Chains A and B, each alone.
Chain A
Amino acid sequence: MNYLQESLQVWSLENGLGRRWDMVPFHAGHYPGRGTWVACAIEATKGTDLSSEPKVHIAKIYWADAGSRWNEGDLYQDAHGDVQIPGLARIVDHWKTGKVVSGSQEPGGLITKQEQVCVILGSTGHPLNECKDVNQILGCIFDLLESKSNSRWIRSSLTNK
C-alpha cells in the first residue's frame, strides 16, 4: 500500500491480482481493535476507462480474527447470489492484504491472530437496526423474498422442503 502525497491524503492499494484502487480516507477506528479505516475509492487499474466520470466506491480496511469461519466479502456474495437484494451493500472486490499480527495468549493457551482485510463496496446498505417499526422490517423481508423469488436459491430451498 502506497501513500501518494498530495493536498489530500490519497492511498493506493492493489488487490494482488492487478486491480488497483485509489482511496481518500474519512474515518479510522480505534487500536487495539479492528481499526476500521473507511475511504472513498475509485478504480485506478491500468487500462481503466477514464473518459467518463469515475464511479466512487466505499473502501474498508480492517483487522479481523484470522480464525473466523466467515469473512464479510463472501457473506455479501452468498447473500446476493445471482440476484441483487435491494438495500444490502453490494460487494465489488475483497481480499486479504497479507498482513497478520499475533494477539495475546488466551487462558486456554490459544494465541489469537488478526489479519488485515480490504473490502470494496459498490453501494452502502441500510442497517436493520435503523428500522423504525415492524412495517419497515417486514418491508425488508418482502424485498428480500421478492428479489429471490425467481432465483435458484429460493427454488432449491422450496424444492428441498
Chain B
Amino acid sequence: MSASLSIPPFQSARELPFGTTPVQPAPYAALKELLAAKAERRASLAPHPTAVGPDEFWAETLETPDSDGAAPLSEADLATLERQYRKLNKTPKPSESLSYVPVTIIMNVLSLAGAKARPLPNEQVVGWFLNPNQLLFGDPYAWSLKPDIVAYLVPRKTAEDYLARLQSKTTLSNLNDLRPAWAQVISAAELKVRAAGQSQLLHYLEAICRYRPDLVSVVAISSKPDGYQFYSLNAARCLKYPDILQWKDENTPSLQKFIALSTKHKDRVTKR
C-alpha cells in the first residue's frame, strides 16, 4: 500500500523584533490540570481506599504473614470466641456500646494466642484497649480523635489482666484507664452499628501513620452492622479488604491474619 505524504512547504519563522516573545500563550491550563491530577494521585489529601482481592490485600500490607501459620487456639479460647460471636450476632443487633466489650475480648484473645505461638521481644503483646470517649495523650498535631479501640504493645501480664477485667466488668469507666499516647498506637478499631464507620477509621489510620514514622504500613478494622472489614494505609496506597466478614467462627483465621499483621512491626517502643 502506498501512502502519499503531503509535506507542507517550508516556511521560515517570522522574525520577531528584539525583546519580544511569540504571542501564543503557553498551555498553562493543560499543564495545571496535568500537575493537579498527578498530585492528587500521588498525595491525595484524603485517603480513598481501593478494594483489592484478599491475596493482594495480605501481600501488599506490611509484610506477608505466614498463610498457614495461624496460632493454635485452646478450647477455652474457642469457647470465649463463640460466646462473644453469639453476643455480636444477636437479633436485634446490640447497640454500639454493647458491642465494645465483645469485640475487645475477641481481639485480645487472638492477640494473646498469637503472641504465645510467636513471642515478641521482652514478653510483650499487642493489647487491645477500649477508649471510646477520651482523647489520646501526645497529640501535638491536634487531631482530637477518639478511636473506639486502640492497640499498642504492653507487657503480657497487662493484656491478660485487662482481658480478665473485660470478662468480669461491663462498666466502661472501669475499662478505659489504659489510654496510650498516639505515638504508641499501632492499630485501631472503629465500631458502628447504624452507620458505616469508614471515614472515621480512615482518619485514625492516617493519624497513626503520621504519628508513627517508624511503621511501614498501618492496618485497622472497621466493624459495621453486617460484619467487619480490614483497611490498610501506607505512603503509596490505601487498601480495603474486598469482603465484609461476619463475626463467625469460620472467619477467625482472617482475623488471626489481621492480628499477625498488626503485631509485625520491627521497631520497639522503649521507655528511657
Tell yes or no: A156 within 8 A of B by CB: no
Query: Which secondary structure dominates where chain A touches chain B?
Result: strand
User: A32 contacts B237, CB within 8 Å?
Assistant: yes
Contacts of B236 in A (CB 8 A): 32, 63, 101-104, 112-114
Known A-B contacts A32-B43, A32-B44, A33-B44; the reply to A6 vs B235 at CB < 8 A is: no
Tell yes or no: A70 within 8 A of B by CB: no
What is the chain A residue whose CB lies nearest that of B216? A99
Question: Using an 8 Å CB-CB cutoff, how does the interface string of B35-60 with A read, 1 for contact, 0 for none?
Answer: 00000001111010010000000001
Q: How far is B209's CA from A30's CA once the two chains are assembled, in angstroms? A: 9
Tell yes or no: B249 within 8 A of A by CB: no
Task: Tell me the chain B residues, 205-222 only, with Cβ under 8 Å from chain A.
Answer: 205-206, 209-214, 216-217
Q: How far is B183's CA from A30's CA once the two chains are assembled, in angstroms? A: 16
What is the chain A residue whose CB lies nearest that of B209? A31
What is the chain B residue whose CB lies nearest that of A1? B214
User: B181 contacts A35, CB within 8 Å?
Assistant: no
Task: Tell me the chain B residues, 14-48 only, with Cβ under 8 Å from chain A.
Answer: 42-45, 47
Tell yes or no: A4 within 8 A of B by CB: yes
User: A33 contacts B43, CB within 8 Å?
Assistant: yes
Tell yes or no: A61 within 8 A of B by CB: yes
Tell yes or no: B195 within 8 A of A by CB: no
Known A-B contacts A26-B140, A31-B47; the reply to A1 vs B213 at CB < 8 A is: yes
User: A28 contacts B50, CB within 8 Å?
Assistant: no
Most buried by A among B181, B182, B213: B213
User: A5 contacts B210, CB within 8 Å?
Assistant: no
Tell yes or no: B267 within 8 A of A by CB: yes
Q: In the complex, which range does the number of interface residues on chain B fall in?
A: 35 or more
Known A-B contacts A63-B235, A103-B236, A114-B236; the reply to A31 vs B210 at CB < 8 A is: yes
What is the chain A residue whose CB lies nearest that of B202? A31
Tell yes or no: A11 within 8 A of B by CB: yes
A and B contact pairs by CB, cutoff 8 A, 19 listed: A1-B213, A2-B270, A3-B183, A3-B184, A3-B214, A4-B272, A5-B183, A9-B138, A9-B182, A28-B213, A30-B44, A30-B45, A31-B206, A31-B234, A32-B238, A100-B216, A101-B217, A101-B235, A104-B237
Q: How far is B138's CA from A30's CA once the two chains are assembled, in angstroms? A: 18
User: B43 contacts A28, CB within 8 Å?
Assistant: no
Contacts of B210 in A (CB 8 A): 28-31, 35, 37
